[in-house]
Structure 1
Amino acid sequence: MSVPAVHEFGYWWHRYRRTWRGTAVISIANPLLFVTALGFGLGRLVDERNSAYLHGGSYLAFIGPGLLAASAMQMGFIHGSGPVFQSARVGGNYRAAVTTPMEPSDIFTGHLLFTAFRATLDSAAILLVLLVFGAASPAALPGAVLTALAFATPISAYAVSTDRPAKLSALFRFVIMPLYMFSGTFFPAEQLPGPLRALVWLSPLWHGTELCRGSGPIVIHVLVLLALIVAGYLAGRRSYTRRLTA
């Protein structure tokens, strides 16, 4: 990792130091509300029916890791879309940074490093809430961070080159939200029809969710998420260079 990339990380860290209190409250309050409403409210009804899809486990234990992975996906989108788009515009901090000896790839790497830091911090806060309710395992944290980066990296590569925020809104509406609802987060993917189930198994969120649950072929889940991170990073180096040197 280059020294300029560390300087870029320092810029984002300096900004975060002034706003962390608000984000900390959101990171803890949201999962607490979801766990209470779904894990204990809806979960009580699900557990009464003894669904075979839960393999004898409780709905709370099922949905806890799912919420962690889904929150990580949303974190990846949030950190990789709006801040990148705004920074790349005229007057944005990317434009100031590129006038220094810092290369576009350093800017991308430094911002991505900060995204990894935030993903780790926010996922740990959510996991802490889930651990209090016995709804997840500490081993789920690496899976959540990989899930966040698997989305943040390619989204950053796209956001830096887009010209309208409406495109990012469309990405959230037509990609992120369907993945949120139909990737095994709230109900087992095995309940879906065959063709739709096959599509779900291609979803990076499904792999992240299963990884947070410790289910299925762990190595496959990790490799899929790592492949998305690497592909997004290579694409981001190119798109950052094209946009910031134009």
Structure 2
Amino acid sequence: MLGVFEYYLTGYRRTWRASVFSSFLLPLLTVLSFGVGVGAYVDGGIGGVPYLDWIVPGLIASTAMQVAIGESSWPVLGGFSWQRTYYSQIAAPLRIIDIVGGLLAFVLVRVLASAVAFVVVAAAFGALRSGRAMLTLPVALLLAASVALPVAAFAATIRSDSYMVIVFRFAVIPMTLFAGVFFPVESLPPVVRPLAYLSPLWHGVDLCRAAALGLAPAWSVPGHLVYLGLWVVGGWLLAVSRFRSRLVH
């Protein structure tokens, strides 16, 4: 597993400078456009909290989800269909759990770097209202694992990148828009609300917002952690199964 993780880090060593720049640029532009720009038109904030302070925890969770899915979608498909990296790894020989575990470790490192950059930018704008704001980082990692593993399993199943569009069009975009990142889920019609609660992102957003604002989450903390943990366990089992069926004949 460490060997696979080292493989990803070796490749990342060539591109980390550009990713570090974008890791700070994206939070800065997002905070300015949504938190400051849109927030200027939200009178009274949300629940008595300024819109900038309210939206930042959701953006941290959303960024973690997007980075995790970005690193576990097309790169995994490419590892099977184009570069065929995983076939080399299984011939090394490596175990399936080594391949999946090394991939997950690298995804979490990438997510951690992005989340730290977002927290730094948010702190510079004074948008973190609680000393517990650093707890958003482990929450971001748990959320990342809960979405990266199922997406990696899906990427190991498909043969064409045209199917990957489905993930972004019918999962990533709806979750980003309707899982409580930009406005309270309670603003949605009651019939649609349960769909938001089913998404891992809402649970990550609620935990991050509670930590950053020093408030109690809408659900209990153990309930959120158990739900995200189930996604991680189920995603791990599914990813290992799909990688094995693709690599072991």
Task: Please classify the TM superposition score into its range, dividing by the shorter chain length.
Answer: over 0.9
Q: Unpaired segments of 5 or more residues in structure 1?
A: none
Q: 2:177 aligns with which of 181, 197, 200?
A: 181
Counterpart for residue 218 of structure 1 = 221
Identical amino acids, percent of aligned pairs: 35
CA distance in structure 1 between the aligned counterparts of 2:142 and 2:121, rounded to whole angstroms = 20
Q: Which amino acid aligns with 2:66?
A: Q
Counterpart check, 1:129 vs 2:121: yes
CA distance in structure 1 between the aligned counterparts of 2:92 and 2:7, rounded to whole angstroms = 14
1:101 Cα deviation (Å)?
Answer: 2.0
Counterpart for residue 55 of structure 2 = 63
Q: 2:97 aligns with which of 99, 105, 113?
A: 105
Counterpart check, 1:31 vs 2:34: no
* 8 Å Cα contact 1:211-1:221 kept in structure 2: yes
3-state SS of 1:195 partner: coil
Counterpart check, 1:240 vs 2:243: yes
> How does the TM-score come out when normalised to structure 2?
0.92
* 8 Å Cα contact 1:105-1:241 kept in structure 2: no
3-state SS of 2:17 partner: helix
* 8 Å Cα contact 2:86-2:247 kept in structure 1: yes
CA distance in structure 2 between the aligned counterparts of 1:125 and 1:63, rounded to whole angstroms = 16
Counterpart for residue 230 of structure 1 = 233
Counterpart for residue 186 of structure 2 = 190
Counterpart check, 1:9 vs 2:1: no
Change (3 A) 1:90 1:38: closer
Counterpart for residue 84 of structure 2 = 92
Q: When the two structures are aligned, how many residues end up with a matched partner?
A: 238
Counterpart for residue 213 of structure 2 = none
3-state SS of 2:198 partner: coil
1:134 Cα deviation (Å)?
Answer: 2.2
Higher mean C-alpha deviation, range 204-213 or range 111-120 = 111-120
1:90 Cα deviation (Å)?
Answer: 5.5
CA distance in structure 1 between the aligned counterparts of 2:135 and 2:83, rounded to whole angstroms = 42
Q: Unpaired segments of 5 or more residues in structure 2?
A: 211-216
